[in-house]
Amino acid sequence: MFKRIITFILLLIMVAVPAVNLWASVPFSTYTFTYFGEPVGSPHAYVPTLVVELDLSEPGDMDICADGNVFIADAGNNRVLKLSYDFEIMGEIVYFTNPDGYEDSFNRPQGLFIHPDGRLFVADTSNRRIVVFDEEFNCIHIIGEPESPVLPPGFAFEPFKIAVDFADRVYVVALTTNQGVIEMTMDGEFRNFIGARRVHANVLSLFWRMVQTDEQRARDLQFVPTEFNNIAVDSRGFLYVTTNAIEWHLINYGQFSRTDDGQHMPIQRLSPSGSDTLVRNSFFPPSGDIFARHTLVSSIVDIALGDNGVYSVLCQLRGKIFTYDSEGALLYAFGGLGVQKGLSQRPVALVYRGTDILLLDGHTGRLTVFERTSYGYLLHEAIDAFAERRFTDSFELWGQVLQENNNLDIAYIGMGQALLFSGEYQEAMRYFRIGNNNYFYSMAFFFYRQEFISNNFLWLLPLIIAIFVLLRMASKAIKKVNNSEKWRHTLVGELCYSFHVIFHPFDGFYDIRHEKRGSLKAAMIILTLAGVVFVFQRYAQGFIFMDYRVEWLNPITLFLNLVVPVAMWCLANWCLTTLMDGEGGMKHIFTAAGYAVLPIVLMILPATIISNFITLDESFILTAFSVLAYGWMGILMFFGMLVTHNYTLPKNILACSLTVVGMAVLLFLGLLSVDVLGRILMFASNIYREMNFRIL
């Protein structure tokens, strides 16, 4: 028995040790982001398998030819290096014979591009030209500085990165150009600037420039578009461009707002006309790390294109590689800074070679090869199956992905998409809900709703009629109570009279003030109901319109979000109208305000219920309800104060405007009081700890 136990323990150790060594050999973590921007761990999609030490000086770019050979622009050594498939040095271009028959050389070449037909294009940066070679390293063409009357005065052509499409259109990112990507012909004829970003100067900057002298303006920075820093072209001629010159707050705003506009995003996909066509249908726009500090936003410096719309971008600041699918969903992020195998110190270039990813370090000159893991292959097989419309295979493959990584939201979305296009709408909705994708959930819900209505129309119609009948009966009952002397001064009558007030504010508020048709108790009940509805809205809103987690909500805070502003309005209005000869006291002001919030109950409650039965395209219905609710409430507040204080219209406008200012002052004083109180308590706590310390 003892021998069996020892044997079992030894077997466990033999199985466990290789696994430990395997994971220990990967010095970085792989992760994705949830819908709420939280990084979650993921199995490794790529692991480093080889590091090639090369004698390079300030390498700037790298590309792969059809047979897998690697070309590197070695700017510091003024050469282009060629490596074999096994990363052995096959040759280099240092000197060459130009088409005029003279010996020539490079001057800090920082970019290169290999055409599918084998031609090598080198951005000879400091020589201000592009040099073209054939497969035998023979210089066959030189593209010089373009000339055109539309180019700005003093234009200097310093090509930094280049790409060439199937029609031999040459696209250049130049160091000194901030008007977009330069489009040229093979003969060096300037065609156009593509993708220049619009400039938005803030009001303060514009005002400051107005009061500056001419000399100050000349010394001041100009408002110029953001410069691109890299470029790639796909098989259809679309350009992928990157930049790391966008201000941090613009990137963060784009992430928070989940924008699909690439104006302030570091990655764009430009059509030949210059329009941004990058798809941003995922949780966040492709931009690297999410919600990073402003000093640490991702610095995107290169982009590599894979199959079926998949692309990877390189963050130089953190050494991370972010890979996205054609919808802009993050598949995985990996890598990091350091000296260990798989890390880099200043990554500058990224390229696909088959399924492998090659990373070039500009500081050490090391070339790292990342090999796709079984998990990575499975993930890409699922993407390929969906792209090829093999929905059954896609569903099964995404299911296998989830067995490896159940934190991957896009796997649930992928399964939902497969079910959606197979016509299984209700089941698709379930997966989209788990994957937090309201766009596809809305699409599946639209078809499911059509199907449900078609199958249940016979009992849905009587239900709708019954609801309208009940509403009509309730309206008649309320009107009957309002016209009855018996209920006039009861709580029920005072509550029912609120429906008369919201439709006839002049008569209604007058009767509340002078005829005792309302009461403070009824106003407090209505305000409480409005607060409850405010809470109900956040908890019961349809999934399509819910961009938060229910467990994050605090019902007390939500309730106070409505009640406190109303109370502040009443307090500020009372303070001001006391000085402006207002006839209403605090009780009258609060009563009028309480009755004025009834539209919140009448509009937000049905809007919340309706939100569970409409799609994204019908969201204007909710907007209409919200605008009507708050606009109606604002009008009632205004007329309530007008009647309560017996003001003229101009005087009431002034009083209400000053009330809003007073609310701002009250808010400031409240925050200041909390801050001062906190400091006093901290001071007292420090004194108490100091006294205890001295006593001890």
Q: Are strands 230-233 and 190-194 parallel, antiparallel or unpaired?
A: unpaired
| 335 plus 448 within the same structural domain | no
Tell me the one-letter amino acid at 429.
M
pLDDT of 590 above 50: yes
| 365 plus 382 within the same structural domain | no
The pTM of this model reads 0.81
Burial of 286 (0-12, 13-18, 19+ CB in 10 A): buried
**Which tokens hold the place of 237?**
């001629």
Q: What is the mean pLDDT of the chain?
A: 86
Question: For the chain, what's the residue count?
Answer: 696
**Cβ–Cβ < 8 Å for 113, 72:** no
| 380 plus 344 within the same structural domain | no
| 247 plus 163 within the same structural domain | yes
Please list the helix, strand and coil fractions of the chain in percent, rounded to the nearest 5, in that order.
45, 20, 35
For residue 3, is it within any domain? no
pLDDT of 321 above 60: yes
3-state secondary structure of 140: strand
Closest among 601, 523, 604, 527 to 560, alpha carbons compared: 527
For residue 383, is it within any domain? yes
For residue 287, is it within any domain? yes
Distance CA 472, CA 477 (A): 9
**Cβ–Cβ < 8 Å for 105, 96:** yes
| 366 plus 380 within the same structural domain | no
| 585 plus 671 within the same structural domain | yes
| 248 plus 391 within the same structural domain | no
**Cβ–Cβ < 8 Å for 630, 638:** no
**Cβ–Cβ < 8 Å for 541, 608:** yes
Give me the percent of the chain exceeding a pLDDT of 70.
Answer: 91
Over the stretch 494-552, which tens digit does the pLDDT of each residue have?
A: 888 889 889 999 888 988 888 888 889 999 999 999 999 999 999 999 999 988 888 88
Q: Give the pLDDT confidence score for residue 604 in this predicted structure.
A: 93
| 171 plus 320 within the same structural domain | yes
| 329 plus 386 within the same structural domain | no
Cross-strand partners of 132: 121, 141
Query: Domain holding 188: CATH number?
Result: 2.120.10.30
State residue 264 phi and psi, 5-degree precision: -120, 30
DSSP-assigned letters across all residues of 185-237? -TT--EEEEE-PPPP---HHHHHHHHHS-HHHHHHSPP--PPPP-EEEE-TTS
Distance CA 33, CA 617 (A): 26
Last residue of a domain, one of 353, 372, 391: 372
In this prediction, residues 664-684 reach a mean pLDDT of 86
For residue 477, is it within any domain? no
The residue ranges of DSSP E strands in 266-416, in sequence order, are 267-270, 300-305, 311-315, 320-324, 330-335, 347-353, 356-361, 366-372
Cross-strand partners of 315: 300, 320
Last residue of a domain, one of 372, 403, 427: 372
State residue 142 phi and psi, 5-degree precision: -130, 125
In this prediction, residues 55-66 reach a mean pLDDT of 92
| 38 plus 179 within the same structural domain | yes
Give the containing element (helix H, strand E) for 413. Answer: helix 409-421
Distance CA 585, CA 581 (A): 11
Closest among 538, 545, 540, 527 to 601, alpha carbons compared: 527
Most confident of 174-183, 214-223, 491-500, 525-534: 525-534
**Which tokens hold the place of 539?**
């908890």
Question: How many other C-beta atoms can be found within 10 angstroms of the C-beta atom of residue 310?
Answer: 19
**Which tokens hold the place of 255?**
């992430």
| 315 plus 234 within the same structural domain | yes
Number of domain units in the chain: 3
For residue 470, is it within any domain? no
Closest among 583, 603, 579 to 645, alpha carbons compared: 583
Distance CA 601, CA 535 (A): 11
For residue 457, is it within any domain? yes
**Which tokens hold the place of 685?**
């706590």
For residue 637, is it within any domain? yes
Reported as a pLDDT band with limits 50, 70 and 90, residue 226 is low
Give me the percent of the chain exceeding a pLDDT of 90.
Answer: 51
In this prediction, residues 379-408 reach a mean pLDDT of 90
Over the stretch 328-372, which tens digit does the pLDDT of each residue have?
A: 999 999 999 998 998 999 999 999 999 999 999 999 999 999 999
For residue 38, is it within any domain? yes
| 366 plus 382 within the same structural domain | no
Which range marks the domain in which residue 493 is found?
A: 484-678
Query: Domain holding 407: CATH number?
Result: 1.25.40
